[in-house]
Amino acid sequence: MSLLWPGFLLLLGLIPLIIGGYIWILRRRRRFVVRYSSLALIREALPRSSSWRRHLPFALFLLALVALIVALTRPMASVSVPAGRANIILALDVSRSMCSTDIPPSRLEAAQDAAVSFIQRQAPNTQIGIVAFAGFAELITPPTTDQEVLYNAIESLTTARWTAIGSAILTSLDAIAEINPNVAPSAGPAAQIELTPAPNGVYMSDIIVLLTDGASNQGPLPLAAAQQAVDRGIRVYPIGFGTASGSIMDCSSFGGGTSFGGGFGGGFRRGIDEETLKEIADMTGGTYFSAESAGELQDIFQELPTYLITKRELREISVAFTIMGALLAAMAIGLSLIWHPLP
């Protein structure tokens, strides 16, 4: 928490003076009380709670005064607020291992169904883009609010060899940079981009959801690409998808494409590089998810919108301290009148 007018904290110096005055008044009263005889009888006549009842209103008054002084300093705090606009990139693995049938009808078809359901649940003004990656990454659909275009893009996905997770992250960053002027494009091998890294814990409203069933074996290193996302304040939410059991890959229904085409058969065991995916999530401020069934994947996609479309902003919170001070003062006055009514 930061303060716009910290000089008002000097008013806290009044608190010890007020406490001193309160103690002086109590002692002054005591001098008059000792003139009376049989103090023991008076003490026995008083209820046991009278001591703390006598001092509690004053304590509440002091707390109210402290809260109002803090309000005068105009405190600022970093709070989560709804983003004015959210851009979401779905980066989907279309390597041939996604044809595995351990998750029926296949991993890719289950991922397509989950992605379509995710899109259907979004607000009309949410911009979503689709990136497909195998041996390289390609922007299939730039961020758009047209859900029909997104459905068609997802349904048209076909498969290819290899897995380039780093390329998927960089392509997603470039897609975000095209529509968000506050996000710099990715720095390729020959690019020279002067970039001021985003402050720690400060994120753009844009996010990347990366689904894969394997380990990167092509293209840029995933952690190097993730560092570029960190520098731009872009969160990455990796999803590891697949079971530990062996299965048959049947890509016959996804063949024929020019960019991601071809069929393949054979056995495949779950080879997700979870360690790298978890590190990507930790670096970028995202969360790693693991799904071994279509139902689990649907649940993960259903959770995503509840906390992704927010951003951190500095907001003045002096109103909260003012309300707190007013409530404490009202309690102090109320209790004082109830316990010590005026004659």
* Dmax (CA) of the chain: 107
Full-model pTM? 0.64
Name the burial class of residue 93, with classes exposed (0-12), middle (13-18) and buried (19+) by CB atoms within 10 angstroms of its CB: buried
pLDDT at 286: 93
Say whether domain 84-308 belongs to CATH 3.40.640.10.
no
Look at phi and psi of residue 144 and say left if phi exceeds 0, alpha if psi is from -120 to 50, else beta: beta
pLDDT at 336: 82
Q: What's the rounded Cα separation, in Å, for the pair 59 and 219?
A: 65
Element (H, E) at 75: strand 75-82
pLDDT at 27: 80
Q: What's the rounded Cα separation, in Å, for the pair 278 and 300?
A: 15
Full DSSP string of 9-78:
GGGGGHHHHHHHHHHHHHHHHHHHHTTSS-HHHHHHHS-TTHHHHHHHHHHHHHHHHHHHHHHHT-EEEE
pLDDT at 268: 38
Q: Using an 8 Å Cβ cutoff, are 150 and 128 in contact?
A: yes
Q: What's the rounded Cα separation, in Å, for the pair 335 and 122?
A: 51
Closest CA to 327 of 67, 75, 14, 8: 67
| Number of CB atoms found within 10 A of residue 203's CB | 21
pLDDT at 190: 42
**pLDDT mean by block of 10 residues, the chain; 343 residues:** 87 90 79 54 54 82 92 85 74 94 92 94 89 96 95 95 96 95 77 71 88 94 96 95 75 51 39 94 95 93 65 80 92 84 59
pLDDT at 261: 38
Which tokens belong to 68? 């109002």
Which tokens belong to 258? 């020019």
pLDDT at 40: 57
Q: What's the rounded Cα separation, in Å, for the pair 88 and 199?
A: 21
Closest CA to 293 of 99, 101, 119, 155: 101
Task: Give the residue extent of every domain in the chain.
Answer: 2-78+315-339, 84-308
In degrees rounded to 5, what are phi and psi of residue 330? Answer: -65, -40
